[in-house]
Amino acid sequence: MNLSRLVPASGKVRAGLIIAIFFVLMAVFGPMLTSYSPQASGTDLLQPPSGAHWLGTTQTGQDVFAQFVYGARVSLGVGLFAGIISQIVSVLVGVIGGYFRGLSDDLLYILTAVFLVVPGMPLLIVLTGYLPSRGMISVAFVIAITSWAGSARVLRAQTMSLRRREFVEAARATGESRTRIVFSEIMPNALPLIASGFLFSVIGAVLAEAGLSFLGLGSLTTTSWGSMLYFAQSAQAFLYGAWWWFVPPGLAIAVLGAGLALINFGIDEYSNPRLRTGKSRGRAVRTGGPQAAALSTAGAAAVASGVDSPGLASIPSEDGVNEVAGPEPSGSAAAAAQIRPIDVPGAPIIEVRNLKVDYPSIDQVVHAVDDVSITLHRGELLGLAGESGSGKSTLTNAITRLLRNPAQVTGGSITYHRAARARPGASSGADPGAAEAIDLLGLSSEELRGYRWDEIAIVFQSAMNALNAVTSVGAQFDDVLRVHRPTMPAREREALARTMLEKVGIDSDRVSAYPHELSGGMKQRVAIAIALVLEPDVIIMDEPTTALDLLIQREVLDQVMALRDEYGFAIIFTTHDLSLLLEVSDSIAVMQRGRLVEYGPALEVYAEPRHPYTQALLASLADMGALV
Amino acid sequence: MKYLLRKVMLYVFIAWAALTMNFLIPRLMPGDPVALLVERLSGRIDPAAMDAIAESYGLTDAPLHVQYWDYLTSLAAGDLGLSIGFFPVPVSEIVLGALPWTIGLVGITTVISFLIGTGLGVVLAWRRGSWTDHLLPALTFLNAVPYFWMALILVLILSVNLGWFPVSHAYEPGLVPGWDWEFISSVLYHGILPAITIILASFAGWVLSMRNMTVTVLGEDYVTMAEAKGLPKRMVLVNYAARNAILPSVTGFALSLGAVVGGSMLTEVIFNYPGVGYTLFEAVQNQDFPLMQGLFLIISLAVIAANLVADVVYVFLDPRTRQEG
Amino acid sequence: MSTDVMDPHEPEQGRVVLEARNLVKDFRTNKRAGVFGREYFRAVDDVSLELRAGQVTALVGQSGSGKSTVGRLLAQLMPLTSGELLLNGDPVSATRGRAFIRYTGTVQMTLQDPFSSLNPLHRVSYTLGRALRIHGGPMSADEVEEWSLALLRKVELAPAERYLHRFPHELSGGERQRISFARALAAEPKVLLADEPVSMLDVTIRKGMLDLLDQLRRTEELAVLYITHDLGSARAYSAQTLVMYHGKVVERGSSEQVIDAPSHEYTRRLLAAAPNPRRRLAG
């Protein structure tokens, strides 16, 4: 941990810390600011705030400010004490249960469930109701007993997931003891959760103490924010409008609670980078052109998963441009791009010209796609090769307008040549036979919607994640058809979905199946069938077979080729597996560090690679025994 | 349905644990509270009540397991003992009288607050990066406001100062409960302020958790695919993002419900609302141990039942739990 | 085949360091059988193999074939259902406690995913230091640093000083995998079980990684188990190849023989399915 990481960058966390520190200081030093004793009655009864009594007086003439600052000590003290005890119990129960599993875990799990479901406040009331003498310590203790379960359950889940992480298994394989694995491998990674659990325990305990004292179940001889409210309530202060009596303690509880929750925001954002606030839309800003408002959903600034790179403002992991250059051979980026003319029968359908996409980060701008021009022709299979960080996904995302923040198109154009097809909703009046040139980057989000899937469909890398787990396969065909073919009756939509499933070799009855009922290969076929349902002219396949086994990859690939013969769509096929591309594609574009280094007919590239990087790639494939 | 069956078994166990806790707490509490109570009360109340207390708290010489068995058999018969504060009214009668008020008030407001909260959470997640992000600190503050304090402030402003709503009670004192319009309208009128209190104090929590979940889900491939399919924003948001993001909210229902129930109980106290919370408060003040126990039991069982309902809903929402085997 | 790689198919046979006899591993599934029983899934079914000093043995299979489970059984990370492990000819069973730590002094394992096999919160120096302290006994801080630097040099991370105080997220995938190797070498093992060491790496750096593995086997006289799904690299880098399918070894022999003249139908299908541009040139 270096020191600069400890200074919170987020304004929310700073505000939260200031609030928390303010209240702690008040609890420690506040009583020194007042000469009144919190319990001592005075002669000024129920007076509004004045110079003598900063926060006025109670019905019996006690000084509210004195009560408030002394009460802060008790309320915070109870909160901290209960928070610490409750968190210790949760860590023990959660981490031990989650790591060791087995019978002890089963028992701890049931115990947690009991304390989780049995409502805390009533239990608290009953327990304190039986307490013969109620000191603040015993109240804090009872609060801790009733509040550990939620945090324990979260920690257990986290420990179970950390336990499956490879670094834990690697530490075991190295010979680390189990205790050491729990304390120095797992616990540090669970620290954000423990910290957040602690904050919530403190908030919960402060609230619980206030609630109990308010009911007269706390220690009434001790002044706390809750007991202030109890006396205010029993004196019916609000009927007299004595706001100075009951507003400060309640407000303090709420502000303190909010402060701790704000700190927790920071912890959440640290462990889940997707939560960081910021612009959610990837922008397509082009010089001279109108700013296109991209329709974009999430757009996490950093998608780097959880604890992998905490606190780093990193670039989306697929394009891990921030990899440090290592001793690995990387080819020469300086060599000129080797571009050979492509001679395929179809007319151009997508033309990318001098496209530039940047990822601005704090201290530098990464050119994820740098001056790339490619042309996809009708019916062509264009293979896009490159390793992680080469910019190939950024390129296809630019074409599909799915770029995520902070990616920005800073130059170039993408033109789509839409064939004049008779289809409902398509723009009429186009010259039949002639293609209509559409500036993809200039489309408004509404225009873009009409063109998505109808013209360009996508098959994502992992169908496991690309299919919606909670709706049936049929529903995922159906929504596309409902939107893009509004006049098609329901019966026809279902029939079409069934037909498409059969086309990819899946029993049409599986239309009612849910994704989890299908194998990995079947899910990928379903994804392909969904992509085909509107008979698009272009399908972008982003590593469609990478997650599949060799034999299934072959089957899926054969299927894709057969469907291409049948429907005649063009494909942009992205993969890092050059040998696969060499086998299936008409033309190949090789990318390295955002640049196009070699582009030409597949067989020519294979037979005679001209760029040093392509040569290195092919050579290492040969060394690895892939091209024998 | 195995999933549900396992859950039901767990809840049955939890219910049993709650029963047992209820049995053990007065007997195992340090300082022997029951003996103290008997000492304090002796001579002040009906000797018959004394006997009842002594019996239900194990001041008999019967061994613990025999007492436990008696406890379970009388529970099975619906016998929760006699109230001390309202001697000799049976506890079960008081509990049954209080329950409808709480179920009506807390049940309805919890559902409304959940719906408002999750809906708003989805919207805030979708509009991430716009001005709506500035609502988050305010919501965080709202979420930390104690229920009873919120009630006090609302009473001060809306009842005392503006005179819009009654200060307390569930209906105009003096009205005879019945199914007539006068009574019902009075109940509704009196219920508005407590309901607003509970909703205001609880919805922010749902907003915050739903927003976080939705933001996380929005980064998933299936949402990107839905967008790439050219579906309208609404459809992407509702059918894909929210539909998945709501699952943890439903499983986390237990976590939040406890807080809502606790807070609502305090709200009842402020409004003198004759529900379970207010009655429990009275019981504690009167040291009416049998009533305390009976109320705790019924609240626990109600919360357990609510969790079971949440799990049934979950099974409908997530097809993966419906898998056989 | 590049020239700087020594031919792995040397005829001489090293001494058998680790031998597995009839390994079986059953996993409990969530399915119930009868009232109390559970259904079991046999992940590894009667697998026997020998690892010889200075020799790479490849274990090839698709995901779910049980190949990684075999690796974990050999590393004693999980107990056997039945079967026997012999280390230097002596039966061993040490899945926990001191015996396990002693076992890891001889048998080390590296895992597939370089991005998750290092704890993101620990510097390289901690990771290597722990491994050194576990197996090297008490050492001063200076000694640990000296040894750590030596390990980094061994896995060709230069300048070693530059890497010692880095966090995993500051390293590339290839570098992280080298750190994993260095950690394994800290124990000065005789057997290295490498579970898919290159499958998560970019193509251009895979060769370097496998060359390193090959070099280590020679200089450290390591018996290496190379677990992979890739028949091509198995042929290029290992002397012996075993092909696994559904928990069973379906084919075994010298790598050339298995890959150039497969006798089992499954191996043939795998080879046919591998992408190969030659196929296109041929017609």
For every residue of A580-602, which 3-state class applies, written as one string?
HHHHHCCEEEEEECCEEEEEEEH
Interface of A with C in 292-311 (CB under 8 A): 307-310
A202, A80 Cβ separation under 8 angstroms: yes
Size of interface A-C (CB pairs under 8 A): 185
Does residue B313 belong to the interface with chain A, where contact is any CB pair within 8 Å?
A: no
| pLDDT tens digits for range B117-151 | 999 999 998 888 788 888 888 898 888 888 888 88
Contact C236 A583 (CB under 8 A): no
Same domain, A335 and A404: yes
- Measured between beta carbons, the chain C residues lying within 8 angstroms of A591 are none
What percent of chain B shows pLDDT beyond 90? 13
Give the Cα separation of B108 and B192 in Å (integer): 11
User: Which whole number is the average pLDDT over A78-99?
Assistant: 91
Q: Which of A250, A276, A302 is the last residue of a domain?
A: A276
Does residue A558 belong to the interface with chain C, where contact is any CB pair within 8 Å?
A: no
Which one of A324-333, A422-431, C93-102, C251-260 scores highest in mean pLDDT?
C251-260
Cis previous bond, C159, omega within 30: yes
- Measured between beta carbons, the chain C residues lying within 8 angstroms of A554 are 272-273
Same domain, A230 and A151: yes
Contact B230 A454 (CB under 8 A): yes
Rg over alpha carbons for chain A, rounded to the nearest Å, is 32
Give the Cα separation of C263 and C246 in Å (integer): 17
Q: Which residue has the higher pLDDT, B324 or B294?
A: B294
Same domain, A481 and A540: no
Taking the CA of residue A585 and the nearest CA in chain C, the distance in Å comes to 10
Does residue A2 belong to the interface with chain C, where contact is any CB pair within 8 Å?
A: no
Same domain, A269 and A252: yes
Give the Cα separation of A432 and C280 in Å (integer): 37
User: What is the tally of structural domains in chain A?
Assistant: 3
| Residue among B148, B216, B255 whose CB faces A214 most closely | B148
**Residue entry with tokens 């070799």:** A505
The span from the first CA to the last CA of chain A, in angstroms, equals: 48
Tokens of B65: 């397991």
Does residue A387 belong to the interface with chain C, where contact is any CB pair within 8 Å?
A: yes
Name the residue in chain C with its Cα closest to that of A180: C130
Q: Parallel, antiparallel, or unpaired: how do β-strands A456-459 and C82-87 relate?
A: unpaired
Taking the CA of residue B174 and the nearest CA in chain A, the distance in Å comes to 22
Q: What are chain B's partners, defined as 3 or more CB pairs within 8 angstroms?
A: A
pLDDT at A10 over 80: no
Contacts of B215 (CB under 8 A, 6+ apart): A274, A275, A298, B125, B128
Same domain, A313 and A408: yes
B78, B280 Cβ separation under 8 angstroms: no
> Which H/E stretch holds residue A419?
strand A408-419
Q: Which of A253, A276, A299 is the last residue of a domain?
A: A276
Q: Is A223 a domain residue?
A: yes
- Measured between beta carbons, the chain A residues lying within 8 angstroms of B126 are 297
Average pLDDT, chain A: 81
| pLDDT tens digits for range A241-264 | 788 888 899 899 999 999 998 888
C191, C106 Cβ separation under 8 angstroms: yes
pLDDT, residue A139, reads: 84
Per DSSP, helices labelled H in B219-288 are: 221-228, 233-235, 243-251, 253-270, 276-285
Per DSSP, helices labelled H in B127-178 are: 135-144, 147-154
Say which DSSP state A57 is in: B
pLDDT, residue B325, reads: 42
Contact B319 A470 (CB under 8 A): yes
| pLDDT tens digits for range C57-87 | 999 998 888 999 999 999 999 999 999 999 9
| pLDDT tens digits for range A234-243 | 888 777 778 8
**DSSP reduced 3-state for C92:** strand
Say which DSSP state A327 is in: S
Q: How far is CA C133 from CA A65, B182, C96, C141, in A?
A: 58, 82, 18, 10
Q: How far is CA B259 from CA A124, A203, B106, in A?
A: 12, 12, 12
Question: What strands lie across the sheet with A338-339, from one edge to the other?
Answer: A338-339, A595-601, A587-592, A381-385, A570-575, A538-542, A456-459
- Measured between beta carbons, the chain C residues lying within 8 angstroms of A185 are 119
Contacts of B79 (CB under 8 A, 6+ apart): B90, B92
Of A30-39, B185-194, B271-280, the one with minimum mean pLDDT is A30-39
| Residue among C110, C187, C279 whose CB faces A175 most closely | C187
pLDDT, residue A421, reads: 60
Closest CA to A225 of B288, B312, C130, B144: B144
| pLDDT tens digits for range B223-256 | 999 999 999 988 999 999 999 999 888 877 766 7
A264, A237 Cβ separation under 8 angstroms: no
pLDDT, residue A6, reads: 52
Same domain, A256 and A346: no
Q: What are chain C's partners, defined as 3 or more CB pairs within 8 angstroms?
A: A
Of A28-42, A304-318, A343-357, C164-178, the one with minimum mean pLDDT is A304-318
Taking the CA of residue A395 and the nearest CA in chain C, the distance in Å comes to 19
Chain Cα centroid distance, residue B111: 11
- Measured between beta carbons, the chain C residues lying within 8 angstroms of A328 are 172, 174, 202, 204-205, 208
pLDDT, residue A459, reads: 92
Q: Which residue has the higher pLDDT, C166 or B175?
A: C166
Q: Is A123 a domain residue?
A: yes
Say which DSSP state C20 is in: E
pLDDT, residue C191, reads: 95
Same domain, A493 and A561: no
Give the Cα separation of C235 and C257 in Å (integer): 9
Same domain, A316 and A416: yes
pLDDT, residue A626, reads: 66
| pLDDT tens digits for range C189-216 | 999 999 999 888 887 788 888 999 999 9
Q: Is A48 a domain residue?
A: no
Per DSSP, helices labelled H in C75-223 are: 97-104, 124-136, 141-154, 160-164, 173-185, 203-219
Does residue A177 belong to the interface with chain C, where contact is any CB pair within 8 Å?
A: yes
B221, A460 Cβ separation under 8 angstroms: yes
CA angle A463, A465, A470 (to 5 degrees): 105
Does residue A482 belong to the interface with chain C, where contact is any CB pair within 8 Å?
A: no
The span from the first CA to the last CA of chain B, in angstroms, equals: 9
User: Which whole number is the average pLDDT over B190-200?
Assistant: 90
Q: Is A582 a domain residue?
A: yes
Same domain, A451 and A476: no
Tokens of A373: 């021009």
Contact A583 C119 (CB under 8 A): no
Same domain, A449 and A592: yes
Interface of A with B in 501-540 (CB under 8 A): 514, 516-517, 530
pLDDT, residue A52, reads: 78
Q: What are chain A's partners, defined as 3 or more CB pairs within 8 angstroms?
A: B, C
Contacts of A154 (CB under 8 A, 6+ apart): A94, A193, A197
User: Which whole number is the average pLDDT over A467-491?
Assistant: 93
- Measured between beta carbons, the chain A residues lying within 8 angstroms of C158 are 327
Q: Is A613 a domain residue?
A: yes
Taking the CA of residue A74 and the nearest CA in chain B, the distance in Å comes to 17
Rg over alpha carbons for chain C, rounded to the nearest Å, is 20
C50, C67 Cβ separation under 8 angstroms: no
Per the structure, the complete domain to which residue A492 belongs is given by 464-519
CATH of the domain at A614: 3.40.50.300
The span from the first CA to the last CA of chain C, in angstroms, equals: 25
B117, B207 Cβ separation under 8 angstroms: yes
Q: Is A248 a domain residue?
A: yes
- Measured between beta carbons, the chain A residues lying within 8 angstroms of B263 are 121, 211
Give the Cα separation of A602 and A620 in Å (integer): 18
pLDDT, residue A293, reads: 30
| Residue among A169, A325, A550 whose CB faces C111 most closely | A169
Same domain, A244 and A386: no
CATH of the domain at A114: 1.10.3720
Does residue A398 belong to the interface with chain B, where contact is any CB pair within 8 Å?
A: no
Residue C20: strand pairing partners: C49, C85
Does residue A185 belong to the interface with chain C, where contact is any CB pair within 8 Å?
A: yes
Does residue A608 belong to the interface with chain C, where contact is any CB pair within 8 Å?
A: no
User: Which whole number is the average pLDDT over A506-521?
Assistant: 89
- Measured between beta carbons, the chain A residues lying within 8 angstroms of B218 are 274, 297-299
Contact C277 A189 (CB under 8 A): no
Q: Which of A208, A241, A276 is the last residue of a domain?
A: A276
Taking the CA of residue A11 and the nearest CA in chain C, the distance in Å comes to 25
- Measured between beta carbons, the chain C residues lying within 8 angstroms of A392 are none
pLDDT, residue C2, reads: 41
Does residue A580 belong to the interface with chain C, where contact is any CB pair within 8 Å?
A: yes
Give the Cα separation of A72 and A253 in Å (integer): 9
**Residue entry with tokens 């009460």:** A71
Taking the CA of residue B1 and the nearest CA in chain A, the distance in Å comes to 16
Which one of A7-11, A156-160, A212-216, C146-150 scores highest in mean pLDDT?
C146-150
Rg over alpha carbons for chain B, rounded to the nearest Å, is 24
φ, ψ for residue A268 (rounded to 5)? -60, -45
Size of interface A-B (CB pairs under 8 A): 295
Per DSSP, helices labelled H in A118-186 are: 120-130, 136-147, 149-163, 166-174, 178-180
| pLDDT tens digits for range A377-406 | 999 999 999 887 788 889 999 999 998 877
Of A248-257, A593-602, B84-93, the one with minimum mean pLDDT is B84-93
Give the Cα separation of C277 and A379 in Å (integer): 20
Name the residue in chain A with its Cα closest to that of C75: A173
A265, B136 Cβ separation under 8 angstroms: yes
Q: Parallel, antiparallel, or unpaired: how do β-strands C90-92 and C82-87 relate?
A: antiparallel
Of A409-413, A460-464, A559-563, the one with minimum mean pLDDT is A460-464
Contact A126 B292 (CB under 8 A): yes
Residue B263: Cβ-neighbour burial (10 angstroms; 0-12, 13-18, 19+): buried
Average pLDDT, chain C: 87
What percent of chain A shows pLDDT beyond 70? 85
pLDDT at A436 over 80: yes
Residue B4: Cβ-neighbour burial (10 angstroms; 0-12, 13-18, 19+): middle
Give the Cα separation of A502 and B215 in Å (integer): 36
Taking the CA of residue A126 and the nearest CA in chain B, the distance in Å comes to 7
Give the Cα separation of C43 and C27 in Å (integer): 7
Closest CA to C279 of A383, A591, A602: A602
Residue A500's pLDDT band, with cuts at 50, 70 and 90, is very high
Classify A337 in phi/psi space as left (phi over 0), alpha (psi -120 to 50) or beta: beta
Same domain, A376 and A263: no
CA angle A89, A92, A98 (to 5 degrees): 130
